[in-house]
Amino acid sequence: MKIPPPPGSRISVGTDDHGMPVILIPAAPRLSRFLLAIPFLVGLLFWCAGEILAAAMIFSGKVHGFRIVFLVIWLLLWTTGGIFGAVFAFWTLRRAQPQSLRLLGGAVEFDSGRRPPCLVPEELIWGGVPNYFPRRIRHSISLRQMQGLRLRQSDAGTRLIVEIDGEVIEIAKGASDVEREWLAQFVLAHYGLTRTP
């Protein structure tokens, strides 16, 4: 039985190349990633100016002795910092990839996708640094494990979780409470499963 997504939902249901159902859950759009990138982009302008100035002084031949040693060491450290800033700005601004659930015959393939950096205070408080730098998670969830799929109430709202080998995985993190409820019903109905307490 096909249950359509809730009205206004950004979740889409399609099929892969083998005809297996795939559910895509887009990451919630966040202006915070642009706010986070602005200081790094401005800093890169100053970094370029410092890089050019230091290199010009080194190659001008007018600086000698301890000063040139200091400038070379400073330039190496400055270059390292600039590369870090550029990589971080790119990582912050790159496009997010949606979460996906592939409903295979005997398992569900979960891919957490790529979420933008998090600046939401309540997520940082409860999740700490790992939530600030979200990592991509991929799991193959057995049908027995999917029976443990449940909605858990928290101060930040309802979380859709499943336990895999002692690790609690949150599914549809960027979705609304209504979308999470729909997703749980859809997946369990697809396999004819009932939730275990």
How confident is the model over 28-81, as pLDDT tens digits? 666 666 777 788 788 888 888 888 888 888 888 887 888 888 888 988 998 898
Cα–Cα distance for residue pair 11/5, rounded to 1 Å: 7
Distances (CA, A) of 156 to 34, 152, 166, 173, 174: 23, 11, 23, 11, 12
Q: How confident is the model at residue 127 (pLDDT cuts 50, 70, 90)?
A: very low
Percent of the chain scored above 70 by pLDDT? 84
φ and ψ of 163, to 5 deg? -100, 130
Cα–Cα distance for residue pair 115/122, rounded to 1 Å: 16
Cα–Cα distance for residue pair 110/175, rounded to 1 Å: 15
* Tens of pLDDT, residues 170-185: 888 778 888 888 888 8
